[in-house]
Structure 1
Amino acid sequence: MAEQTALAEVRDKPDRAVVRDALGVGVAVGLSGFAFGVTSAGSGLTVAQTCALSLLVFTGASQFALVGALAAGGGPFTAAAGAFFLGVRNAFYGLRLSQVLALPRAVRPFAAQWVIDETAAVTLAQPTRRSARIGFLVTGLSLYLLWNLTTLLGALGAEALGDTDAWGLDAAGPAVFLALLAPMLRTGRARAVAGLAVLLGLGLLPVLPAGVPVLVAALAAPTVLWAEGRRRGERDEAAGGKR
């Protein structure tokens, strides 16, 4: 009886509770746009270029990767490639969210701009389509507005802060990304992919040009899948031999 009551409460999650949770994520992450604005301006981009990245790209990890690679002396194509591969994950989010939200075709191109880690996390945590749509809308809207506002403020205030590297603000974006990623590493396969990606990225950082280690780290997933397939094949062969 207690389990049935708890399940009914989950299914009947009030709209205000969804809005509260979505706003909590939108505001908390949106404030880190200030760190991006400061980091981008400190990397040599103009205020207009910095704001354009937040308005048009709007995926924090990719934005930090881009300006970080440029600041480290990487070429624009290498930096853009690294940012692009980080942003590819949003396409996979979109495949899942399209099923959950079932938005009208006319709305989908506009909603695609808000398909990022935070909106995916909030949306997929909801028990019903209605609450999923509310969560997606509130998270996307609050985060988009606040991220762009704080990006502008950060870019304008970068000069007043002086040496931006001394503040360590460039670590804010990756820290947020890791905080969102950590709860998703529930299986051994996911943890293996994440661990191998970290080893590749950090291990190759001193020897490869800026931005390239991120590209190489993308090989972690197919490598783990290949290793699992090979082990499974060996087990099947061993089992067949025993027969």
Structure 2
Amino acid sequence: MRSLSRTLERATLRDIALVCLADALVGVSFGAIGVSGGLPLWVPVAMSVLVFAGGAQFAAIGVVLSGGGVIAAVATGLVLNARLLPFGFTVAGVLDGPRWRRLLGAHLLTDETVAFTLLQPDRPRRRAAFWLCGLALFVVWNAAVVLGAAAGGFIGDTDALGLDAAFPAVLLALVLPSLADRRTRNAALFGAAVAVAATPFLPSGLPVLLALAGLLLAGRAPSDREREPTAERDQATERDQAAGRKPVRGGAPTAGEPRVELAKEAH
């Protein structure tokens, strides 16, 4: 864990800690809702260890507490967690190594771990962000669920505390920096519009899957030239101008452009 934290910047470590704090509040709420609704303490605790998916756990508990069967609860959780399938393909590059490690990584796959992984600029940092965030969230979430379940009889109305707002607020804070790119922003807005429009007509979880239609507006991936930092291009242009050359964008100089000999650059 310490070696992973050394790979990441301090700001990333701070953000992971804040996400863990927010998820702890949600975990306390989940444990309290389960026990105060009449479930044994071990049920929300076992779900948190074996499922480790907050949204799916809330959905399954909601089905059970409203009188639904186990099969309906499991089906609801599976539908809601189906969004993690494309997430898994996105971060598959960091889940290398033996099979047990890949299986553990798949279990730790959450919205938060994917968000932090995609924010990192290179593969070592992406790997460190995934494992550090995933392991920290797993420990914090399960500890919070145990605490909430133990205090379930004393909290009473958990909705009055507003703990359910912490989870979407965290996700919104994570995606905001990515919305600076116009392509990403258009895709996110279109996907959100599709999800909101489908919410009154479809079961919980399906509108989130339909939001993936926003990827159609993401367009092609930028080329290597487009990904080159603007500052580096500007510095290259300044060097060309200082050497008396015109910046060449297409490779070879066009007809009529003076060619500067390498001997002149030495002066």
TM-score between both structures, scaled by the size of structure 2? 0.65
What is residue 207 of structure 2 aligned with on the other side? 217
- Residues of 2 paired with 1:22 and 1:166: CA distance? 27
What is residue 199 of structure 1 aligned with on the other side? 197
Kindly indicate whether residue 17 of structure 2 is the aligned counterpart of residue 15 of structure 1.
Answer: no
- Residues of 2 paired with 1:122 and 1:149: CA distance? 22
What is residue 158 of structure 2 aligned with on the other side? 164
What is residue 128 of structure 1 aligned with on the other side? 122
Among candidates 115, 118, 135, match of residue 109 of structure 2: 115
Please report the RMSD computed on the Cα atoms of aligned residues, expressed in angstroms.
Answer: 3.0
The 10-residue stretch of structure 1 (167-176 or 36-45) with the greater mean CA deviation from structure 2: 167-176
Check 1:21–1:102 CA distance in 2 against 1; reply closer, same or farther (3 A cut): same
1:16-64 Cα distance to aligned partner (Å, 9 max, x none): 5243443333333234211111122233322101001111111111112
Structure 2 unaligned residues grouped into runs of 5+: 1-5, 217-267
1:87, distance to aligned residue in structure 2 (A):
0.9
- Residues of 1 paired with 2:9 and 2:92: CA distance? 23
Identity of aligned residues (%): 37
1:112-171 Cα distance to aligned partner (Å, 9 max, x none): 111111111111111121111221121111111110001000011010122334444445
Among candidates 71, 79, 104, match of residue 97 of structure 2: 104
Check 1:56–1:127 CA distance in 2 against 1; reply closer, same or farther (3 A cut): same
What is residue 32 of structure 2 aligned with on the other side? 38
1:189, distance to aligned residue in structure 2 (A):
4.1
The 10-residue stretch of structure 1 (55-64 or 144-153) with the greater mean CA deviation from structure 2: 55-64
Q: How many residues align?
A: 205
- Residues of 2 paired with 1:147 and 1:58: CA distance? 8
- Residues of 2 paired with 1:75 and 1:172: CA distance? 29
Check 1:139–1:78 CA distance in 2 against 1; reply closer, same or farther (3 A cut): same
The 10-residue stretch of structure 1 (136-145 or 169-178) with the greater mean CA deviation from structure 2: 169-178
Partner of 1:213, secondary structure, is: coil
Note if contact 2:88-2:106 (Cα within 8 Å) is conserved in structure 1: yes
- Residues of 2 paired with 1:223 and 1:141: CA distance? 31
Note if contact 1:37-1:151 (Cα within 8 Å) is conserved in structure 2: yes
Note if contact 1:26-1:140 (Cα within 8 Å) is conserved in structure 2: no
Note if contact 2:26-2:166 (Cα within 8 Å) is conserved in structure 1: yes
Note if contact 2:22-2:167 (Cα within 8 Å) is conserved in structure 1: no
What is residue 224 of structure 2 aligned with on the other side? none
Note if contact 1:61-1:174 (Cα within 8 Å) is conserved in structure 2: no
Among candidates 48, 60, 63, match of residue 69 of structure 1: 63
The 10-residue stretch of structure 1 (69-78 or 83-92) with the greater mean CA deviation from structure 2: 69-78
Check 1:91–1:63 CA distance in 2 against 1; reply closer, same or farther (3 A cut): same
- Residues of 2 paired with 1:31 and 1:37: CA distance? 10
- Residues of 2 paired with 1:23 and 1:168: CA distance? 20
Note if contact 1:61-1:173 (Cα within 8 Å) is conserved in structure 2: no
Check 1:200–1:174 CA distance in 2 against 1; reply closer, same or farther (3 A cut): same
Structure 1 unaligned residues grouped into runs of 5+: 1-12, 205-211, 227-243
Structure number with the higher helix fraction is 1
Partner of 1:66, secondary structure, is: helix
The 10-residue stretch of structure 1 (23-32 or 130-139) with the greater mean CA deviation from structure 2: 23-32
Aligned residue type for 1:59: A
What is residue 152 of structure 1 aligned with on the other side? 146
Kindly indicate whether residue 135 of structure 2 is the aligned counterpart of residue 141 of structure 1.
Answer: yes
Check 1:22–1:223 CA distance in 2 against 1; reply closer, same or farther (3 A cut): closer
TM-score between both structures, scaled by the size of structure 1? 0.70
